[in-house]
Chains A and B, each alone.
Chain A
């Protein structure tokens, strides 16, 4: 994984120009060489800062400032502009909002757990069997490159109540007597999420499992453990970072997903993003929508940041 700490850990290469530029230990400002080197270092720092400036400017203007404005507006009354927390209080005190939020969290947790468990053996195969990998890689990668909308269409073709392939097959076989109405309710949405999340989890877990040396398992086996036992007590613990990273990413994505919940949604909104979008676009309760968006984002960002913290502790050990 790409961590910034590896840069910090890097020692300056011997003979690199900026060895002269680190001031504290260096003697005498009277030393003309030191002064020149310090100026050169200052110029270098300036040059690098200039390199970084465009990225900084774009991020500030197109992400940080708008987000800041949104947060500010979420604590101001929409009509008068007074400072108020009433949108937060109203949201959290509203049973419909909290109920939908809890449902969303429950769906996201379920999707995360199911897809990580289902993806794990797949990732194991991808990491260990190089011949299978050439075969499986497109299967795992292509779904990841499809917009959610296409996944939604695929799920409609697969699971729709009357026209869906699964329903018609089961009806013809006589397994069912009435079509299953799972699509336009929460199970259909959960299935669509699992479809996308499996490939995400498989990608991340494969990356982690490739890094786990297979000889460690062999060592466990040579000491008398069964294959299963060596997997459970060697491979699984070593792949925990991947599980954490994948879970956080999937949870944060599902909690704030919008396309699938609307496409495969019924009359009852199960997912919180629909409530927010309705408040914003249809009901014109913009500041209420801002506050709710902040609440949901706090949840998603909180999970991501917590996962990063745990991962960095793992990395330090």
Chain B
């Protein structure tokens, strides 16, 4: 059996040829290895979280929720902090970036290239330098180590993604709908509310999900502007491993983050179908 289905039928050939067997073997081996490499570490985290131990043993001995029960309140606080700040930042950034995308696509402004490059800046510039820059500005303003500061940083980062999603969505929607609405006397905002928004609402929901996920895993930027009283979960886990080494609670929390990613994938895949995930993934940069 070859994996290359759909090939034109080989001329006068009885059994599978040697190259076909070799290529099937290559693909099988490759898939097995790369699949194991990608899945196995994640499985280890989940398994270790149930064993409540740093040493994963096989066959698994005592599985239990001890690791999960041991998760300290501080972790949960950070977890909910992350969820809250991510939801807030995603919502605000869509609210800000969608009108901008609309203006870019429909407005025919001469400065749109300049504007787009400027809004994409936080994504092109490494988070390392953006984080340091925000830290130095936020400290005198009292914004570092605060909910508002973390959220502002995330919004700046998200606008780029929101703008790209918004532009793609609006480019996919023919302008004639809006023109028809305008010809019937609707103002721009009415057309936006009654025609444009309902038509691209599913796309906007997906955009919101992706922005939310970006916020959930943001690290380097937040490392500099977060602090003890505003700690996202990735920062909390990170500082903990520096201060105390690997502890079972941290692994249980990591496993919870794995579940969040899996649930997120399931939600998007159900909403979109897996085919479109590729396009959505690609749109992250470039």
Does any Cβ of A come within 8 Å of B202's Cβ? no
Give the CA-CA distance A300 to B121 in the complex, in Å: 13
Quick check: is A222 within 8 A (CB to CB) of the other chain? yes
User: Which of B45, B121, B129: most chain A CB closer than 10 A?
Assistant: B129
Dominant secondary structure of chain A at its interface with chain B: helix
Bin the interface of chain A by size: 35 or more
Q: Is the CB of B38 within 8 A of A139?
A: yes
A170 at the interface (CB under 8 A from B): no
Any chain A CB within 8 A of the CB of B251? yes
List, in ascending order, chain A residues with CB within 8 A of B241's CB: 149, 152-153, 263
**Chain B contact residues: helix, strand, loop or mixed:** helix
B119 shortest CB reach to chain A, Å = 5
* A286 on interface, CB distance cutoff 8 Å: yes
A139 to B: closest C-beta gap in Å: 5
Which of the candidate stretches B65-73, B94-102, B193-201 sits at the interface with the other chain? B94-102
Query: Residue of A at shortest CB range from B58?
Result: A165
The answer to whether A249 touches B286, judged by C-beta atoms less than 8 angstroms apart, is yes
B278, A126: Cβ atoms closer than 8 Å: yes
Q: Assuming A58-B156, A137-B277, A147-B216, is B133 touching A69 (CB within 8 A)?
A: yes
Nearest-neighbour CB distance to chain A for B2, whole angstroms, equals: 9
Q: From known contacts A207-B282, A256-B126, infer whether A66 and B96 are also in contact, taking CB-CB under 8 Å.
A: no
A245 contacts B286, C-beta separation under 8 Å: yes
B139 to chain A, nearest CB (A): 11
- In the complex, the answer to whether A118 meets B34 with C-beta atoms within 8 Å is yes
Candidates B42, B108, B130, B220; contact of A143 at CB < 8 Å: B42
User: A45-72: contact bitstring with B at CB < 8 Å (1 yes, 0 no)?
Assistant: 1011101101110111011111101100
Q: Are B257 and A55 in contact (CB under 8 A)?
A: no
CA separation between A52 and B136, bound complex, in Å? 27
**A294 neighbours in B (Cβ, 8 Å):** 129
Contact of B96 among A12, A58, A308 (CB under 8 A): A58
Distance of A199 Cα from B48 Cα, bound (Å): 23
Q: Could you tell me if B132 and A293 are in contact, using CB atoms closer than 8 angstroms?
A: yes
Q: Are B286 and A67 in contact (CB under 8 A)?
A: no
CB-based closest 5 A-B pairs: A207-B282, A48-B107, A203-B281, A154-B41, A55-B100
Where the two chains meet, the residues of A that have a C-beta atom closer than 8 Å to any C-beta of B are 1-2, 4, 6-8, 12-13, 15-18, 44-45, 47-49, 51-52, 54-56, 58-60, 62-67, 69-70, 73, 118, 121-122, 125-127, 129-130, 133-134, 136-158, 163, 165, 168, 195, 198-200, 203-204, 206-208, 210, 214, 218, 221-222, 226-227, 245, 248-249, 252, 255-259, 262-263, 273, 276, 280, 286, 289-290, 293-294, 296-297, 300-301, 304-305, 307-308, 311
Besides the known contacts A51-B100, A63-B125, 7 further A-B residue pairs in the complex with CB atoms under 8 A apart: A49-B107, A49-B109, A146-B257, A153-B237, A165-B56, A199-B38, A258-B220
**A/B interface sample: 9 pairs, CB < 8 A:** A48-B106, A66-B137, A149-B234, A153-B251, A195-B38, A195-B41, A258-B223, A289-B132, A290-B136
